[in-house]
Structure 1
Amino acid sequence: MSQWEMIIRLVLSGVLGGLIGFERRSHFKEAGLRTHFVVAVGSALIMLVSKYGFTDLLYTNAISVDPSRIAAQVVSGIGFLGAGTIIVEHQFVRGLTTAAGLWATAGIGIAIGAGMYIPGISATVLILVALEIFNKFKKTVSYSMGRADLSPDGINPALDTLKNSKIKISGIQVNRHYNKTDKDLEVRLTFRIYTKNQNETKKIMVSLLKIPYVKNVNIE
C-alpha cells in the first residue's frame, strides 16, 4: 500500500468521526467534534500499523504476525475514554450515548484503516440518522429533573404531593445525609417530571414549597 492511500484513510476516518462528534456537540454533550475526530484518526492509525507496520518481519524465521492483535486492543482501550463521559448524578446516569458513540467511532476508524470503506461509511450514516431520529423522539417525551431539600418530617407530605400530581413523575429517590454545620439530619428528594407544560411544573414547585418542612425546590 502507498503512503498516500494511508493518508487518505486517516483523513476519511477523521471526517467520519468528526460528523458524529459534531452531532454530539450540537446537543451539548460531553465529548464533541475534537474528541471523536481524534478517536477515529487514532483508531485508523493503529489499524494501519497493525496491518502494515510489520511487513518487514513477514519473512523472518520463527516470527509470526497477527494483524488483529493490536487493533483488538482499541476496542477495550476505548472504554477508558467512554467511562470519562459517563456522569452519575443523584443516582441518574448521563453520557451513555456519548460513550457508545466514542466506541462506535473507534470501530469506524478501524474499519477505514483496514480499507473497509463501505462498511465504515455506512455505519457513520446509520449512526447519524439513528441519533437524529431518537433525539426527536426523546424531545416528545422529555423530562425535567427535580430536587427538593427538606427535613425528615417532610418526607411523607412531599411524597404524597408528588404521587397525587396529575402529571407523570417517576424515579423518586430519597437520600439522607447529615449537615456538617448544624449536625442535623437532612433529606434530598430527587425525581423526574415528564411534561412540557411549564405551568404544571410551577404548580409542583409551589405545592412542595407550601410544605413547612421543605427548605428549597429546584426543577430544571
Structure 2
Amino acid sequence: MQDPWTIDTFHITLRLVLALLLGGVIGFERERSSRAAGLRTHILVCLGSTLVMLLSMYGFADFARLDNVRLDPARLAAQVISGIGFLGAGTILYTGKSITGLTTAASLWVVAAMGLAIGAGFYYAAGLACFFALISLFVLNLVEKRYMHHRKVRSLKLEAADIPSLLGRVTQLLGSKGCDIQKLSVEEAPVDADEAARILITLSVRLSKGAKVSEMIEELLRLEGVRSVSLD
C-alpha cells in the first residue's frame, strides 16, 4: 500500500504543469481584455497555491511518522484562501463613478482554488472549474455586451459655450433617442481671460436598446455651441 504522505516526482511535475496550463488559460482571457491581472499573474497564483497544497500534504512526511504528531493538510490551504484577498483587492479600482476589477479579482480567487485542487490531486474538479470559469469570463461577457451593455448607465460629457437654451436642446435630443437621463450637472469650465465663457455638462444616461452611439454624438456636436462630446 502506498504511503499517503509521500508523492513521486512525476506527480509533482504533473500537478505543477497542469496548474501552469489551467491558470494560463484563464490569465490569457484576462490579458486579452487588458485587465490589471493578466497571463503571468494568474499563472503565478495558480502555481503558488498548487505548491502550497503540495507542501501542506507532502512536505512534512518525516513528521507524519511520529506517534505524537498529527498533520492537518487543510491548514496551509486555508491561508491561501485568506491571503488571496489582498492580491485581489489590488486589482479593484474605484474611479469615482464606477468600480472596475471585480471580475478579475474573482478570477484570481478561482485560480487560487484551482491550484489547491490540483495540488490535492483533484484534476477533474480543477479542469471543470477552469471550463466553467472560461464560460463565465468569455462567453457570458459576449452575451452581456450584446444584450445588456446598452442598459448600463453611461457618463456623457459635453463642453460647450455658455448660451441660453443649450441644456434644453441637449436633453431634448437625448430624449428623442430614447435615452433615460439619470443625473445631470453643469459647471463652469476654466477659460483664459480673453476667451468666451464655457460650461461642462455631465449627464448619467441609460441608452436605449439599439441606440447608435456614433450618430447620437454627431448630432450633439452639430448643436450650436457644443465643442466636444465624450461618452464613457
What TM-score range do you get, normalising by the shorter chain?
Answer: 0.7 to 0.9
- 1:164 is paired with a residue of what secondary structure? helix
Matched, 1:31 2:37: yes
- Partner in structure 2 of residue 71 of structure 1: 77
Q: 1:166 aligns with which of 177, 181, 186?
A: 177
Q: Which residue of 2 aligns with 1:199?
A: 215
> What per-residue deviation string (whole Å, max 9, x for no partner) do you get for residues 178-207 of structure 1?
98x99xxx9772535534441023334555
* TM-score when normalising by structure 1: 0.78
Instruction: Note the residue ranges of structure 2 that are not aligned, 5 or more in a row.
Output: 1-6, 194-198
Alignment CA distance shift 1:197-1:148 (3 Å) = closer
2:157 to 135, 147, 154: 147
Residues 1-150 of structure 1 correspond to what in structure 2 (within 5 A)? 1-60=7-66, 62-141=68-147, 142-143=149-150, 145-148=155-158
Unaligned segments of structure 1, at least 5 residues: none
In the other structure, the counterpart of 2:196 is none
Aligned equivalents of 2:97, 2:80: Cα separation in 1: 30
Per-residue CA deviations over 1:126-175 (Å, capped at 9, x if unaligned) read 11123222121122143454334689x99x75984586352334664759
Cα shift readout 1:12-41 (whole Å, capped 9, x = no counterpart): 011000000111111222211111111110
**1:219 aligned to 207, 215, 231, which one?**
231
1:146 aligned partner, one-letter code: L
* Cα displacement (A) at 1:51: 1.1
CA distance in 2, matches of 1:199, 1:10: 52
Under a length normalisation based on structure 2, what TM-score does the superposition of the two structures give? Answer: 0.75
Query: Runs of 4 or more off by more than 6 Å in structure 1?
Result: 175-179
Greater C-alpha radius of gyration: 2
Query: 1:161 and 1:96, CA in 2 relative to 1: closer, same or farther beyond 3 A?
Result: farther
